[in-house]
Amino acid sequence: MPVWNAIDFQQAQASQATAANDPARVVRLVAGPGTGKSFSIEQKVANLLQSGVTASSIYAVSYTRAAATDLKLRIEQFCNTSGLSITGGIRASTVHSLALRILRSAGILGAQYPVDPMVLDNWEVENIFDLEFNHITRFGKPRCAEIRSYWEAFWSTGNQSHPSYKPPASPITQQEQTQFTGFKNRRSNLYSCVLPGEIVQQVVQRAIAGTLNVQQVLNISHLIVDEFQDLNPMDLELMQILISAGVQLFASGDDDQSIYSFRYGSPEGIRNLPLQNQGVGQHMLGHCFRCTPSVLNPAVQLMATYSDPQRIPKTYISMYSNSAPSVLGSFHRWMFSTHRGEARAIADSCQNLINSGLNPKDILILISNKRIQLGVIEDELRQRNLNFDSPNNPGIQDTDEGRLIVALMRLICNNDDYISLRTIWGLRSGIGPTQTETLATWITNNQQNFKTIFFQNLPLTNLQQRTASSVQVLRGLVNTITGWAKTDTLGCRNADIIAILNTISGQAAVALWTSAVQGIDSNALLSEVRDFLWTESDEQKSQVLAAISDRLELEHTPNTLPDRIRIMTMHGSKGLSAKVVFIPGLEEQILPGPNRIVSPGLTQEAARLLYVAITRAKASCIVSLAQSRFVNGKRKTHAASQFTNALGGSFSTRSTALTSQEVNQIMSDISRL
């Protein structure tokens, strides 16, 4: 590792500390990639604790459940290392879960749901909610998703004609709206669940009406919001309500990394924060500890070219520019005649780098269009026997067995997790939407409750025999876990869990469980095992394992990332990094692509997406384009993306992979990171 330039390092630390120490009621921290935003957040919480603020008065928010868990773990590890005791831990969640907590504390949820509801994730929305809605209405799953999206746009923005909402060719009818609302209300009560977005709007509407004092019921004094640029308009309204109620806000993010307009996120949220509030403490982190200058500079030039007048001005410097020794890094711009030639060069380059000692997990290949780009890249990697993770490879939660395992762990840790109980029910062999609807109708007509049907030995009078038999099987599972606690250890319950999985699913689930928990200490709590399995990335799994090691006072295990090349979408790479990053497909037909090019705003967002992709790289970034591709079975001519003109150099015609000289230079740079 190089020695940082003393002046650069002092300036970077001073910027991080100044933001963390700012006592302003609202603080905005604009932090570019790799500039130490996490440290400022961690230090902010540590400062609050040292000043006498209780941990229960601090709440942290991030854009996904997994990101919130990661944020919580980072804060707690930093505070533990600093010798600060956090009784009960730091509370962290998504905005949706924060809104749920507000309604729960206000006593509002009890009138609508049998227990505190769970926010459905994407799989649950598609495989439970949409599936059952379609079974009842026979609209077809695509149409059911369109109807739901119509309402999600309204919940997220308060506007059913928001510019970011793309209505279907066939407008949503009043009858469809009515049927959706009725179904949602029934299923939300039956499974004690909510769809993403609807709860935030409920809080905002009640607060505006004066019937809900959010600060009083939430009982927090400080709110930490990470990735503020990802909040949608309704989320932003909630933030302003909390500020008006006296909650101090520390908002961190970067308008240049706002890439979720399809979720109604916008860079305007973080840009307008000082305009909506007086005396905002405004801070900027510009010293990049991740990217070498050859990687950072083209990314910065791209954003300078594709920005609008409202963009927050920034100045960045790579910490490697003046380090001892300095590390320049490399940025390659390649142009190929065909997509096959591009894929071969990428695969050969990966092979050459690995043969020179680079771990495969230190290579990222980032794509913008899976349908057009992924297949040929996977094919070339397979031909060279290179191991890789693909965005099409199912994670543990993307398989039926994995979903069953995670649902079981969730249910063990929280018997009131109705949606996990529904997941286990639906994933058993032979259970389909017809049996599920039969059970739902019987429960409703007999004034029963979805949980008590399984947790109590109630008579199943007049319930169809096949469905009743399935209920009895699941009752056996419930009887087994009754009395278990989330504080039980993995070693204590492992054999029992294996027996349960074998009974309700079979050997495939047992094998997956055994493989998934292989690296977890037997003294880990079941709640920690649940958190590990519930994560969305290998990096987050490493964080959970580190937290387990800290609690058990064990040495941290080495990084658990598998030794495989990672192929990901650009959106999926946010928050990650790698020593070498390949970005193929810089063509107008792919990035920005036909759906974005019609809108200046979406074109700017595509530029931000490329910026995010480039700044995942530490030592070297290789961007490339192909002049022709096979699309839908036909060869088509592709034009260079307009973004290629803003990357600070010319693209060279290429037919081969990284040369030995180029590989040696990259490996030399990596050795000095």
Distance CA 342, CA 333 (A): 12
N residues, the chain? 673
Segment 290-307 shows an average pLDDT of 97
What one-character-per-residue DSSP string does 47-111 give? HHHHTT--GGGEEEE-SSHHHHHHHHHHHHHHHHHTT---TT--EEE-HHHHHHHHHHHTT-GGG
Confidence of residue 596 (pLDDT cuts 50, 70, 90): very high
Say how far apart CA 294 and CA 417 lie, in whole Å. Answer: 50
Classify 616 as helix, strand or coil: coil
Task: List Cβ neighbours of 631 (8 Å cut-off, separation of 6 or more).
Answer: 372, 589
Long-range contacts of residues 420-427, Cβ cutoff 8 Å, at least 24 apart: 420/118, 421/450, 421/451, 421/454, 421/474, 422/128, 422/191, 422/450, 423/124, 423/128, 424/474, 424/477, 424/504, 425/470, 425/474, 426/127, 426/128, 427/400, 427/403, 427/505
Q: What is the mean pLDDT of residues 457-470?
A: 93
What per-residue confidence (pLDDT) applies to 430?
A: 80
Asked if pLDDT for residue 93 goes beyond 80, the answer is yes
pLDDT of residue 557: 65
Helix (H) or strand (E) holding 250: strand 248-253
> What residues does 567 pair with on adjacent strands?
365
User: Residue 4 has what pLDDT?
Assistant: 97
Alpha helices in 553-597 (DSSP H): 594-597
Q: Report yes or no: 307 and 600 within 8 Å, Cβ to Cβ.
A: no
Task: Encode burial over 202-227: b for 16+ CB neighbours within 10 A, e otherwise.
Answer: bbbebbeeeebebbebbebbbbbbbb
Please state, rounded to an integer, the average pLDDT across all residues of the chain.
93
Least confident of 93-97, 254-258, 636-640: 93-97
Neighbour tally for 17: CB within 10 Å:
15
How far, in Å, CA of 606 to CA of 583, rounded?
A: 14
DSSP 498-510: HHHHHHHT-HHHH
Average pLDDT value for residue range 325-348: 97
Q: How far apart are CA 322 and CA 8, in angstroms?
A: 8
Q: What is the pLDDT of residues 483-504, one digit of tens each?
A: 999 999 999 999 999 999 999 8
- Asked whether the beta carbons of 380 and 80 are under 8 A apart, the reply is no
Q: In what helix (H) or strand (E) does residue 642 lie, and over which residues does it extend?
A: none
Give how far Cα 268 sits from Cα of 161, 181, 262, 273, 592, Å. 18, 31, 15, 8, 21
pLDDT beyond 90 at 543: no
Confidence of residue 514 (pLDDT cuts 50, 70, 90): very high
How far is it, in rounded angstroms, from Cα 229 to Cα 13? 24
> Which residues have CB under 8 Å from 599's CB, separation 6+?
none
Angle at 660 between CA 655 and CA 663, to 5 degrees: 95
A 10 A CB-CB count for 142 gives: 10
> What is the mean predicted confidence (pLDDT) over 243-249?
95
CA gap 358, 566 in Å, rounded: 13
Q: Report pLDDT digits (tens) over 365-389.
A: 999 999 999 999 999 999 999 999 9
Q: How many CB atoms lie within 10 A of CB 309?
A: 4
Is the pTM value of this prediction over 0.75? yes
Tell me how far CA of residue 541 lies from CA of 70, 277, 636, 638, in angstroms. Answer: 9, 38, 42, 40
Q: CB under 8 Å, gap of 24 or more: what pairs does 81-86 form? A: 82/46, 84/46, 84/49, 84/50, 86/49, 86/55
Does pLDDT of 539 surpass 80? no
Q: Identify residue 218 by its one-letter amino acid code.
A: L
Angle at 521 between CA 517 and CA 525, to 5 degrees: 85
Which has the closest alpha carbon to 228: 276, 278, 163, 296?
A: 276
Alpha helices per DSSP H over 277-417: 293-305, 339-355, 370-383, 400-413
Per DSSP, the three-state class of 365 is strand
Longest Cα–Cα distance in the chain = 79
pLDDT of residue 559: 57
User: What is the SS3 assignment for 546?
Assistant: helix
Whether the CB-CB separation of 86 and 49 falls below 8 Å is answered with yes
pLDDT for the residue 550? 84
d(CA 184, CA 100): 17
Q: Can you give the pLDDT at residue 558?
A: 61
Closest CA to 184 of 156, 150, 208, 209: 150
pLDDT confidence of residue 560: 61
